[in-house]
Chains A and B, each alone.
Chain A
Amino acid sequence: MWMIDLPPFSAFFIGALLILCTRGMVRSAVMLAIPILSAIHLSMVPEGIYLQFTLFDYQLTPYRLDKLSLMFGYVFHIAALIGIIYSLHLRDTMQQVSAMLYAGSALGAVFAGDLLTLFVFWELLAFTSVFLIWARRTERSFKAGMRYLIIQVLSGVILLAGTLFYLFENNTLEFGYIGLDNISGWLIFISFGIKCAFPFAHNWLTDAYPEATVTGTVFLSAFTTKVAVYALARAYPGTELLVYIGAAMTCFPIFFAVIENDLRRVLAYSLINQVGFMVVGIGIGTALAINGAVSHAFNDVIFKGLLFMSMGAVLHMTGRMNGSDLGGLYKTMPKTTILCIVGAASISAFPLFSGFVSKSMVMTAAIEQGYDWIWLMLLFASAGVFHHAGIKIPYFAFFAHDSGIRANDPPNNMLLAMAIAAALCIAIGIYPQALYSLLPYDTGYNPYDATHVLAQTQLLFFSALAFVWLNLKGLYPPELRSTHLDFDWVYRRAVPSVLQQAFSVLWRFDRVLRDMIKQRLSACFDFFAGKNDRISILLSQKYPSGSMALWVVVILATYLLLSIVR
């Protein structure tokens, strides 16, 4: 069938064009049809390589299908469909087109079989998604989008440099296992790391996602980081360094999440925490761990999307996003409340919800491979994520003190999108075998044994008990209108102000130096002018002729000197 050669991203790119040409109901229909048709098409295609051509003697493979990429391909289709349903009420061409292109770029990246194609989609991811931030059309979002774009493009440039080194070292562009043996390996690793929000490179995420539009954040949370997770799983499985980086990623954001006021920023921090679990899984590199990482990425796209959608609904209906301004919304937004709690239970890995069946794989793999301390860190992070995403988000938005806001549940399309996501969370939690059958390896893992369920339930209930106890004691940090410094302080404040100071000192020094040289120079000129005058007067009474006679003497003398030297 000729259609088989058509890579999934092309459907989305064509879709973006169609959206530009249509209006109203037709546009909505096109937007809904694209991910559904593309997903049906994808499910019929068997594994293999479908598109290959040669460019300057190098084999390029823009479309390659295997179990790993297929898994991400499926979830990106689900995320795109949910996101599109969620944004059906929008009348904003810029957002709709860029969301379509963005989803297409993510699909292009995961099906890329060579590094050059990957680079192209890597950069497209940045350029298409930034409009979802700018679409908020405030100065704040414009600046945040600019910072986001700079960092994302930088990641792409490093990837290109790494690709060129890789080509030089291995004489091939194939995108497979790379490892950290050469410069190229390190460069590509750093590039993936930036997009994956490694510690100290994570601030683009917490900076930009909360500034994006209500619907934009839902798309953003699904694609960029998951593409990076896919790329790491493809190129660096079993790299021990990743275990430690991932463990750090699970732990440090939860401290920031506890004190952060903007609830979508809390979710952005918890996104880093969840990606940390995936990175640990990739670092461990056993079949079980990779399965855990990939399935957690799959689940995370859905439950993190659900949480961002529920917070987006709150923002859409109330115009507020700070924990300090919200509260008591369960009274008039009961459906959103319930859907948000389903998302919260999933991210906290409650038994029978989707997070449980994937996160436990990574934890089990960690302890099986003897990473005891890492396992303790992951356990702490599991308790912590329940604390800030599982309890804090629903509690401060929908319960806590009554803010007096009486907003209604959001439009039906938003509720439907959230309901689909929530249904998937529960379905995967109850029947994980469906998810496991899609995974790259067959490990025969069963999450529901008595030990596991009991341990996780105990951990979560006593984390909740800690929350209750701290609240009753008044020890829980109140939600305050504030900014909290993070590593982005370095490039948003420290470096600019240091540069400013340095330049002001430099300019002052430069001024002094120039003045000094100018003074010396004019003194010199005065001196020579004086001499010149005196000598010229010796040769002639008239100043110009004297001067000319002097210069003739100088030229003749030079000529004489040169002829002697020769």
Chain B
Amino acid sequence: MKNEKTYLFDNPKNIKRLMQIFYFCCVVLVILDFVIHRHTMHEWDSLWAFYPVYGFVGCVVLVIVASWMRKFLIRPEDYYDNPDSAEPEEKQLKAKGEHHVDD
């Protein structure tokens, strides 16, 4: 694998350049709010930078809530596959003694 071809994003410079373009676009989009006259349909979206703020905050809240949900929703990958999971191995170990070897 030593002589493997380097690809577009293997070079950190390319990633940096892409991100700079992206940040620039974000700034331009907010500035456009002043340039383009928007005919708004509701009091909320006539607020300055309503959509950018809503999009950003909405997504941060989404991810934070989802990560919090994960704390009590996560189970092992084979949770549904073995009918009496709930740490079956530990139970078996307790029943057999820790150093028991199945023969």
> Residues on A close to B: CB < 8 A?
140, 254-256, 258-259, 330-331, 364, 367-368, 372, 375-376, 379-380, 383-384, 387, 399, 450-451, 454-470, 475-477, 480-486, 492-493, 496
CA A301 to CA B42, docked complex, whole Å = 32
A473 to chain B, nearest CB (A): 10
On whether the beta carbons of B67 and A384 are closer than 8 Å, the reply is no
CA distance A454 to B55 in the complex (A): 13
Which positions 1-54 of chain B face chain A at CB distance < 8 Å? Answer: 7-9, 19, 22-23, 25-26, 29-30, 32-33, 36-42, 44-45, 49, 51-54
Give B53's nearest chain A residue, CB to CB. A462
Interface size on B, residues (CB 8 A): 50
Q: Which of A375, A459, A480, A492 contacts B51 (CB under 8 A)?
A: A459
A259 near B70 with CB under 8 A, answer yes
Given A466-B63, A470-B63; A384-B58 close (CB under 8 Å): yes
Which among B49, B55, B56, B80 has the highest number of chain A CB atoms within 10 Å? B55
9 A/B residue pairs, CB under 8 Å, sorted by A: A330-B8, A368-B41, A375-B42, A380-B58, A383-B54, A455-B38, A462-B56, A486-B73, A492-B80
Note all chain B residues with C-beta closer than 8 A to A485. Answer: 73-75
B56 and A463 contact, CB distance less than 8 A: yes
| Contact of B70 (CB < 8 Å), options: A140, A364, A455, A484 | A484
Q: Which residue of A lies closest to B61 (CB)?
A: A380
- Given known contacts A140-B81, A383-B58, A475 and B67 CB-to-CB distance under 8 angstroms: yes
* Smallest CB separation, A518 vs chain B (Å): 33
Q: Is the interface of A mostly helix, strand, loop or mixed?
A: helix
Cα of A454 to Cα of B49 in the assembled complex, Å: 11
Cβ contacts under 8 Å, A461 to chain B: 22, 25-26, 29, 52, 55
A451-B39, A461-B52 known; A482 vs B77 contact (CB < 8 Å): yes
With contacts A368-B41, A458-B29, A462-B53 taken as known, whether A484 is within 8 angstroms of B59 at the C-beta atoms is no
Chain B residues with CB under 8 A of A372: 42, 44
Provided the pairs A330-B9, A455-B38, A462-B26 are in contact, do residues A467 and B81 lie with their beta carbons within 8 angstroms?
no
Contacts of A368 in B (CB 8 A): 41
B93 at the binding interface (Cβ < 8 Å)? no
Distance between B6 CB and nearest chain A CB, rounded to angstroms: 9
Q: Which of A383, A460, A470, A483 is B75 in contact with, Cβ under 8 Å?
A: A483
Expressed in whole angstroms, the minimum distance between the Cβ of A523 and any Cβ of chain B is 40
Seed contacts A254-B62, A259-B67, A466-B59; 18 additional CB < 8 Å A-B pairs: A454-B29, A454-B32, A455-B45, A458-B55, A461-B25, A462-B26, A462-B29, A462-B56, A465-B26, A466-B63, A468-B19, A475-B64, A475-B67, A480-B74, A482-B74, A482-B75, A483-B80, A485-B74
B80 touches A460 (CB 8 A): no
Pick the contact of B54: A379, A468, A486 (CB < 8 A).
Answer: A379
Taking the nearest CB of chain B, how far is it from the CB of A251, in angstroms?
9
**In contact, B62 and A258 (Cβ under 8 angstroms):** yes
Q: Is residue B97 contacting chain A, with contact meaning CB distance below 8 A? A: no
The residues of A that contact B38 with a CB separation of less than 8 Å are 450-451, 454-455
